[in-house]
Amino acid sequence: MILSIESSCDDSSIAITRIKDNKLIFHKKISQELIHSKYGGVVPELAARLHAVALPNILEETKKYFDDLKAIAVTNEPGLSVTLVEGVVMAKALAVSLGLPILPINHLKGHIYSLFIEDETRFPMDVLLVSGGHTQILHVEDYDNIKIIATTLDDSFGESFDKVSKMLGGGYPGGPVIQEYSQKGDVNRFLYTVPLSNSPKMAFSYSGLKNQVRLSIEKEEVLSEQVKADICASFQKTAVEHLMQKLKKAYKNRQIKNFGVVGGASANLHLRSRLEAFCKEKNAALHVAKLEYCSDNAAMIGRCAVDAYKLKKFKDIDKINISPRSSF
């Protein structure tokens, strides 16, 4: 079995995954969302202190599996430096005391593997990664070969939901807040422009859309619940339309067999229904993770670590560093 640790942002999570059949033996996650919600976003130093309390508490519950462990896996990039360190230090201490090798795992690769929890690896696959830190279209050939087809020039898809929610006094994370308001709103009340619509660039941009929303909020005399719902519905429609326009462009002359959507924002229902239609048109199979594995968790890190273990991606303890910004 492999013990995996995730602490790249505001979720403290540990999993135990069985190597021979990818079975998830244990998984626990303590989310700090409610605590950060007061501040309208994650406060890194506070997140680090909360990990320092939560991770040892979860670890306590995994002691009965220690004799069966073959490796310790840990997210070491990308993420918040001060929170990544909490997981990495714990992984190093465990590896030394139990005499086990360490597998450093890239968080974004972990999100891709959320599609394969308790399942087989299915590569090659084209993937849309939409999280709080990333918006990318990827072609994943195999574990080591991941090509970035498009990425964001500024804010990410999930981040724009967080910022719009903050502007409306809706709290963090913004995605579920905006989604709920949208259900009662009129998608045509505010006509926001789709970013980079006429640009040939294979890239995303969400900061302009966020500013369009800010201006429309400033124009409203009273921010009634109905106005908020209409803003959310119009914003969500435009944000998703931007993803869809670039996806259609990216695959205009290309076949897709397997298409996956991952990351916290892949839980968005409007996005999922647009992707279903897109994949139907392209004759591709759409792969989504279970809702509980869309946002950050150690189960996806553990599942990724099973393949890393088989590929012998071990690293010497003194060579494992954190990297806040790395991609693949």
6 binds ligand KG4 (CB under 6 A): no
162 binds Zn ion (CB under 5 A): no
Window contacting Zn ion (CB under 5 A); options: 65-73, 121-129, 245-253, 289-297: 289-297
Least Å distance between CB 324 and ligand KG4? 12
Neighbour count for residue 85 (Cβ, 10 Å):
18
CA dihedral sign, ordered 204, 31, 113, 281: negative
Phi-psi sector, 175: left (phi>0), alpha (psi -120 to 50), beta: alpha
Rounded-to-integer distance, Cα 239 and Cα 319, Å: 40
Edge-to-edge strand ranges of the sheet holding 71-77: 24-31, 11-17, 2-6, 71-77, 102-106
The residue count for binding ligand KG4 (CB under 6 A) is 20
For residues 22 and 131, which CB has a smaller minimum distance to Zn ion in the complex? 131
Least Å distance between CB 87 and Zn ion? 13
Neighbour count for residue 265 (Cβ, 10 Å):
31
Distances, alpha carbon 68 to alpha carbons 72, 81, 109, in Å:
11, 31, 25
173 binds ligand KG4 (CB under 6 A): yes
Q: Is 257 helix (H, G, I), strand (E, B) or coil?
A: coil
- Please list every residue from 275 through 304 that binds ligand KG4, using CB under 6 A: 295-296
Window contacting ligand KG4 (CB under 6 A); options: 25-33, 55-63, 127-135, 218-226: 127-135
Least Å distance between CB 294 and Zn ion? 9
Rounded-to-integer distance, Cα 218 and Cα 305, Å: 48
CA angle 95, 324, 88 (to 5 degrees): 15
**Residues 274 and 247 sit within 8 Å (Cβ to Cβ):** no
Rounded-to-integer distance, Cα 70 and Cα 223, Å: 56
- Please list every residue from 22 through 81 that binds Zn ion, using CB under 5 A: none
Least Å distance between CB 96 and ligand KG4? 28
155 binds ligand KG4 (CB under 6 A): no
Least Å distance between CB 39 and ligand KG4? 15
What phi, psi does 255 have (nearest 5°)?
Answer: -80, 150
Among 83, 106, 131, 205, binds ligand KG4 (CB under 6 A): 131
- Please list every residue from 261 through 280 that binds ligand KG4, using CB under 6 A: 263-265, 267-268
44 binds ligand KG4 (CB under 6 A): no
Instruction: Pick what 40 binds: Zn ion, ligand KG4, none; C-beta below 5 to 8 Å, kind-dependent.
Output: none
Among 17, 106, 131, 297, binds Zn ion (CB under 5 A): 131
Query: Tokens standing for 301?
Result: 């890190």
Least Å distance between CB 99 and ligand KG4? 32
For residues 278 and 293, which CB has a smaller minimum distance to ligand KG4 in the complex? 293
As a whole number of angstroms, the longest Cα–Cα distance in the chain is 64
Least Å distance between CB 147 and ligand KG4? 20
Window contacting ligand KG4 (CB under 6 A); options: 35-43, 143-151, 172-180, 299-307: 172-180
160 contacts: CB under 8 Å, gap ≥ 6: 206, 207, 209, 210, 239
Which residues of this protein are in contact with ligand KG4, per CB under 6 A? 9, 131-133, 158-159, 161-162, 173-176, 179, 263-265, 267-268, 295-296
The site for Zn ion (CB under 5 A) is made up of 131, 296
